[in-house]
Chains A and B, each alone.
Chain A
Amino acid sequence: MLPLSALLLGLLALALAWPVPAVLSRARWPRRDPVAALVCWQAIGLAGGLSIIGALLVHGLSPWGGSLPEAWWAWAQHWFTGELPAQPVRGDHWVAQTLAAVLALELLGVLALALVRTARTRARHRALLELLVHRGVDEVPGVEARVLDSPVPAAFCIPGARPLLVLSSGMVEEFAADELAAVVAHERAHLAERHHLLLLPFVAWREALPVLPAADRAHDAVRDLVEMRADDVALRSVPGPGPRRVLARAIVAAAEGGAPTGALAAGGGVLTARVTRLLDPPEPLPRWARPLAVGAAVTLVLAPTLLLLAPALV
């Protein structure tokens, strides 16, 4: 007999693995409030992992006790005492335990690996940049903007303890001053709000779960939402009467000057979405919508947590 809490966790995991991400990634409201949507995606990722691993654990350990903490303790002791629980331990219990351990190790391991790998790539880029770039553009207080000699208009930042904001000389020469300010404001928003940390788990889990379409969807949605969020933040510090148009012009100019890619370029479509959003801003969500979304996200994470910690319902 499957414990009810394992069943509920399994159902939650199933919902978070397919229908919920599918609905959220197709919804129109996230572009009206990227912050609320980002909170929801983080909750989906966390709750999804908790519920699938939790479901396997609760089922695997069910012969040892009703609630997970109690069962875990009894299970840990049985390795020393050799006592098997009163209820028979079947093969499927062992399989569930093993799967839970493998999945937990894989998700955490891949995340740790992604952390190490991105840190190493960043360090290599930084070492190279420190030799290549020269101090430039001083109108950006706080963050040092450096100039890299290259005709291709590009801007990027390397997050970290000493963030590095780099503009290509092509961009500095070709772009109008207000467009440049908009680009820098956008990049500074990424740094200030640590967007790389929001994206990293989804990069890692997409690699860990290549068969799961939801992992792909979640990654792409989060990647696009942080861009929209950075646009929103940038608008506050772009000078002039029409900051939206200035930022839109900068995006289009960067797209025109950049190296074109094949028709299947990753992220195709987000540029159009960003520019449309800037030129023809959608109605902001009503005041109650953000608390509602955040409340839903908190509930989503609390539900599997409570199911795991509370004594089994049956």
Chain B
Amino acid sequence: MESLGELERSVMDQLWSRAVPLSAAELRDALADRGLALTTVHTVLTRLEGKGFVRHDDARPRRFAAVASREDHAAELMHEVLGQAADRQAVLARFIGSATPGETEMLRALLADTP
């Protein structure tokens, strides 16, 4: 039995790679090697909708699409990670924050000066 997290990844991978809205049945068929029940696919889609990654249209049957592309989500996340929000370092410890151009110069000089 696969975890819901793994299934969510597989469903999102399908929605991202196919780039057209898919019905739950189409998704089940696309993931046929996993032998999923239709209700399981619906559960996963509902969870993904709740998290704001997927939306559906009003066609019959409903078709599901990714809200944003994988690249957009990655860019959004990186923007938040590298952003200057005051509590960022308490939320996620990033390796370094951003450096000013002057500081980068100085760091390079420091590294070159010491053997």
Contact = CB atoms under 8 A, between A and B. Distances in A.
Instruction: Identify which of B5, B84, B94, B103 gathers the most chain A CB atoms within 10 Å of its CB.
Output: B103
Nearest to A150: B78
Interface string A237-250: 00000000100111
Contacts of A27: none
A35 to B, nearest CB: 17
B71 interface: yes
A124 to B, nearest CB: 8
A59 interface: no
Nearest to A170: B78
A172 interface: no
Contacts of A250: 95
A248 B112 CA distance: 11
Interface stretch (B22-30, B35-43, B57-65, B85-93): B85-93
Contacts of B111: 248-249, 252, 275, 279
Q: Is the interface of B mostly helix, strand, loop or mixed?
A: helix
Interface in B79-115: 80-82, 84, 86-87, 89-104, 106-108, 110-111, 114
Given A149-B71, A272-B103, A261 B84 contact: yes
B12 interface: yes
Contact of A155 (B5, B74, B95, B97): B95
Contacts of A148: 74, 77-78
A36 to B, nearest CB: 21
Contacts of A276: 110
A266 B98 CA distance: 8
Contact of A258 (B73, B80, B98, B108): B98
Interface residues of A, number: 64
Interface string A241-285: 000010011111011101111110111110110011001100000
A157 to B, nearest CB: 5
Nearest to A255: B99
Contacts of B89: 199, 223
B104 A114 contact: no
B81 A271 contact: no
Contacts of A269: 103
A263 B95 contact: no
A152 to B, nearest CB: 6
9 contacts: A129-B77, A150-B75, A156-B92, A203-B87, A203-B90, A254-B96, A258-B99, A261-B100, A265-B84
Interface of B: 5, 8-9, 12, 51, 53, 70-71, 73-78, 80-82, 84, 86-87, 89-104, 106-108, 110-111, 114
Given A149-B70, A196-B93, 7 more contacts: A131-B8, A132-B77, A150-B74, A223-B89, A249-B111, A268-B99, A271-B96
